[in-house]
Amino acid sequence: MLNAYAVRAVRGRQSGLLDHSEINGDGTVTDKDTGLMWQQGTSPSKLTWEAALTYTEGLTLAGYDDWRLPTAKELQFIVDYSRYNPAIDTTLFTGAMTSCYWSSTASTGYSGSAWCVGFDFGSVGYGYKTSAYAVRAVRGGQSSCRRIISFRQPARTSPPRRSRCPPCR
């Protein structure tokens, strides 16, 4: 049986995170589209989910103390699918690990797990809250409607399903 695949060819340079992000020079990066300010580095070590929440909520960086663990959708914003190992722009985000990064998004199917994003290839899945993963803090912002991502569960090996954006306000 022959498989057929659709291909779309585009012309011009690829738009990347650098196009709408600014390195602030104080250990942070600001995404000008979403208003999110990201920790440029990562936590000093891998942490369990509870420890990741504590770390981000207690973080003081660049004069701000309102840091938090990003949602799974927010973490997807900084994945660069044109790269792998790590799937992130290392000019913007220093110290990037190829492991999973915790999100604040708890699993609805099992209270002992939460969503994480793997920065090896940009995969989305969930991990046990007692596992130790990398952490990158975020603060502020509004999600950009043109980058809304829906998650199916269970989706340990399934890629995220992109949904149509509602009209922007």
Identify the sign of the CA torsion 140, 94, 131, 84. Answer: positive
Architecture of domain 17-161: Roll (3.10)
Under 8 Å between Cβ of 134 and 94: no
Cis peptide before 160 (omega within 30 of 0): no
Q: What is the pLDDT of residues 24-43, one digit of tens each?
A: 999 999 999 889 999 999 99
**pTM for the full predicted model:** 0.74
Q: List pLDDT tens digits, range 77-107.
A: 899 999 989 999 999 998 888 889 999 999 9
pLDDT grade for 20, boundaries at 50, 70 and 90? confident
In the block, tokens 């199917």 appear at 109
Q: Which residue has the tokens 């992130």?
A: 88
Phi, psi (5° rounding) for residue 4? -115, 135
pLDDT at 145: 39
With H, G, I as helix, E, B as strand and everything else as coil, classify residue 57: helix
- How far lies 5's CA from each of 2, 8, 121, 160, in Å? 10, 10, 21, 19
Q: Where are the domains of the chain?
A: 17-161
